[in-house]
Amino acid sequence: MKKRAWYALLVLPFIGTLFPQIYNRAEPALFGIPFFYWYQLAWVIVTSLLLGIVVIATRRRDDV
Amino acid sequence: MSSGTIIFALLVIGVTALGFLASRWGNPNLGSLDEWALGGRRFGTLVSWFLLGGDLYTAYTFIAVPALVYGVGALGFFAVPYATIAYPIAFVILSRFWGIAHRRGYLTAADFVRDRFGDRTLEIAVASTGVLAALPYIALQLDGMRAVFAKIGGAFAASDGLLALVVAFVLLAGYTYTSGLRAPAMIAFVKDTLIYVTVIAAITIIPARLGGWAHIFSVSQQTLAARPKADSTLLAPQQYFAYATWAFGSSLSLFIYPHSITSVLAAKSRGVIRRNAALLPIYSLLLGFLALLGFCAIAAGIVTSNSSSVVPTLIDRFFPSWFAGIAQAAIVIGALVPAAIMAIGSANLFSSNIVAGFTASRASGNATLAKRLTLGFCAIALLLVMVVPVQYAIYFQLLGGAWMLQIFPAFVFGMYTRWFHPKALLLGWVCGMTAATAMAAATGFTPNITLHVGGTAITGFLALYALAINLAVAALATLAMRAIRADAGIDMTTEADYA
């Protein structure tokens, strides 16, 4: 039952990306790229890492 | 002949040979459906990563996303949150589906729906939705290839690239028929490598030559604002809802397309799917950078009414001939891989669920019919490109995406609950399909529709609205069916299948 709690991490990408009011800004820019763009690209990496954590934390014996 | 054309020709000939050679991979018996259509269900993490990446991130995607950003600015970037949240969804849903499919021997999503709900009509509805959604998608891959052929010139450009397209496609049909899923799986290694090389080169060279990102974005902002229909490098507040629903709705349908299901079921274990959900977002990063090329095209002063020429024009302008050859090969091969998988996925649906219904004993089935159908689907897609104007193919593909989402209640909710009545799901599907088609026609085939609710206008993704209608109808009809104690069909799956 405890293992299931890890799945809650997967809610974060939805909150982070589906509310443009959070990130619809030009500043702070990164290498000249407006915040709007690099923020969403950063979420790609964060989502990948979160999934990696959940994959490992919820691994079953039969997952080869 | 330029150095670029020679490199291009060599790469395309090389992958064709690879496609035919793939039939010897693992010394399979290609007369069996599992071997031909799913590569024997033996692909490990690495092969699946290349295959799924090659399958989901199509040439059309790589041309259409930058073109959309070029056309509408910030709104076009919805593809990035879409390709981000698709993975948590895939992780949860597909690892469950893989387990059930593995135990019950499914080849398609419709196999599951039939097994779960015991309703032949619902099975046909789900299968035909997939086939209809895949056809225009294949056609658009072909159109992307044709645009590249026309750009290369020489013999390739004969009759606007059509001749080269026909040759390339007959070869594709040939090796798909011979090698099955092994052909695109093998070619995907080449495709993805070329795509990575091209995008990384483009993203380092082009912005530097244009004076850096800050300059690119400031020019883009001015140019977009000055257009007749003004856009921006940031969203307008009234676009928030459209942006979010477009991304969310698209991410729900990405993995229920037949070509996604085919690649997923080729994995050898549940762990392969789980790990790939974490590893595939690397492709989304690539897609994001590619989307930014849309702004590079604006800053470079490219003016075109044919938005799908944006990327080929950028390549042509900024790369030396030999590298342009590599980039063009990346696009063409990038179209061949998903086209082959889409043809296989559609053939699976047609032979497994439309011609005859799914039965558990079919698992050891014969591949002859599916192989022949693959040739048929390739021919239809080719015909679509030759006869129908490309704009209609784009409309059709957009509509296909909205249709695809309408199998979500039967397929995805069905994996978690048997509460819905099969006839209610069917009624919901009919209403969802009708609503999606009507809304798409009413908006002139744009993805978002504006609804007026109590004096305020809300613009959102129409496929998601159609899904809401679908679900509401299915739920109400289920209550009605229960009230009259209608026969709910036989569920052949057991609790243990979902473990």
* pLDDT tens-digit map of B236-270: 998 999 999 999 999 999 999 999 999 999 999 99
> How many domains does chain B fold into?
1
Q: Cβ B281–A48 below 8 Å, yes or no?
A: yes
How far are the Cα atoms of B260, B333, B341 from residue B123, in angstroms, in the given order? 18, 33, 21
pLDDT of amino acid A1: 53
Chain B positions touching A22 (Cβ under 8 A) are none
8 Å CB contact between B60 and B140: yes
How far are the Cα atoms of B46, B254, B259, B437 from residue A13, in angstroms, in the given order? 25, 17, 25, 31
pLDDT of amino acid B344: 92
Please write the tens of the pLDDT for every residue from B25-40.
877 777 788 888 888 8
In a domain, B83, yes or no: yes
Of A31, A44, A55, the CB nearest to B84: A44
Of B81, B91, B247, the CB nearest to A10: B91
Q: How far apart are CA B264 and CA B186, in angstroms?
A: 16
Q: How far apart are CA B152 and CA B138, in angstroms?
A: 22
Whichever domain contains B9, its CATH number is: 1.20.1730.10
User: Quick check: B243 contacting A, CB < 8 Å?
Assistant: yes
8 Å CB contact between A36 and A24: yes
Distance from CA of B414 to the nearest CA of A (A): 20
Please write the tens of the pLDDT for every residue from B475-493.
999 999 999 988 888 888 8
**Among A41-50, B159-168, B395-404, which range has the highest average pLDDT?**
A41-50
In a domain, B410, yes or no: no
Q: Is the pLDDT of residue B63 over 70?
A: yes
Q: How far apart are CA B447 and CA B457, in angstroms?
A: 16
pLDDT of amino acid B15: 87
Sign of the Cα torsion B307, B309, B311, B314 reads negative
Residue of A nearest to B215 (CA): A32
Q: Span B416-422, mean pLDDT?
A: 94
Phi, psi of B309 (to 5 degrees): -90, 0
Q: Cβ A47–B88 below 8 Å, yes or no?
A: yes
Look at residue A33 and give its three-state secondary structure: strand
Of B80, B248, B281, the CB nearest to A40: B80
Chain B positions touching A50 (Cβ under 8 A) are 88
Distance from CA of A27 to the nearest CA of B (A): 11
Whole-number percent of chain B with pLDDT over 70:
99
Q: Is the pLDDT of residue B392 over 80?
A: no
DSSP character string of B451-489: EEETTEEEEEEHHHHHHHHHHHHHHHHHHHHHHTT----
Residue of A nearest to B240 (CA): A20
Mean pLDDT, rounded, of chain A: 91
Q: Span B418-433, mean pLDDT?
A: 95
Q: Span B412-423, mean pLDDT?
A: 94
Q: Is the pLDDT of residue A36 over 90?
A: yes
pLDDT class for B452, splitting at 50, 70, 90? confident
User: Quick check: B235 contacting A, CB < 8 Å?
Assistant: yes
Q: Is the pLDDT of residue B206 over 90?
A: yes
Q: Cβ A32–B285 below 8 Å, yes or no?
A: no
Look at B147-161, B333-347, B416-430 and tell me which has the smallest mean pLDDT.
Answer: B147-161
Which one of B204, B274, B459 makes the best mutation probe of the A interface by having the most chain A beta carbons within 10 Å?
B274
Neighbours of B458 (CB within 10 A): 14
pLDDT of amino acid B364: 57
Tokens of B479: 């209550």
Chain A positions touching B270 (Cβ under 8 A) are 62-63
Residue B97 or residue B139, greater confidence: B97
User: Quick check: B215 contacting A, CB < 8 Å?
Assistant: yes
Beta-carbon contacts below 8 Å between A and B? 114
pLDDT of amino acid B69: 92
pLDDT of amino acid B367: 82
The CB-based long-range contact list for B386-392 (8 Å cut-off, 24+ gap) reads B386/B162, B388/B139, B390/B140, B390/B143, B390/B308
In a domain, B248, yes or no: yes
pLDDT of amino acid A38: 97
In a domain, B436, yes or no: no
In a domain, B140, yes or no: yes
Domain ranges of chain A: 2-50
Q: Cβ A17–B84 below 8 Å, yes or no?
A: yes
Distance, first Cα to last Cα, chain A: 21
User: Quick check: B322 contacting A, CB < 8 Å?
Assistant: no
Tokens of A36: 């709007």
Whole-number percent of chain B with pLDDT over 90:
48
The residue segments making up the domain with residue B210 are 3-393
Q: Is the pLDDT of residue B212 over 60?
A: yes
pLDDT class for B292, splitting at 50, 70, 90? very high
Whole-number percent of chain A with pLDDT over 90:
80
Residue of A nearest to B84 (CA): A44
Residue of B nearest to A13 (CA): B85
Model ipTM? 0.95
Chain B positions touching A48 (Cβ under 8 A) are 87, 278-279, 281-282
Of B84, B214, B282, the CB nearest to A13: B84
pLDDT class for B447, splitting at 50, 70, 90? confident
Q: Is the pLDDT of residue B441 over 90?
A: no
CB neighbour class for A32 (10 Å; exposed up to 12, middle 13-18, buried from 19): middle
Chain B positions touching A55 (Cβ under 8 A) are 91, 274-275, 277-278
User: Quick check: B103 contacting A, CB < 8 Å?
Assistant: no
pLDDT of amino acid B433: 95
Distance from CA of A2 to the nearest CA of B (A): 17
Please write the tens of the pLDDT for every residue from B427-439.
999 999 999 999 9
Residue B309 or residue B57, greater confidence: B57
CA B57 to chain centre: 7
pLDDT of amino acid B480: 94
Q: Cβ B234–A52 below 8 Å, yes or no?
A: no
Chain B positions touching A36 (Cβ under 8 A) are 74, 77, 233-235
Cis peptide before A28 (omega within 30 of 0): yes
Q: Is the pLDDT of residue B289 over 90?
A: yes
Q: Is the pLDDT of residue B1 over 70?
A: no
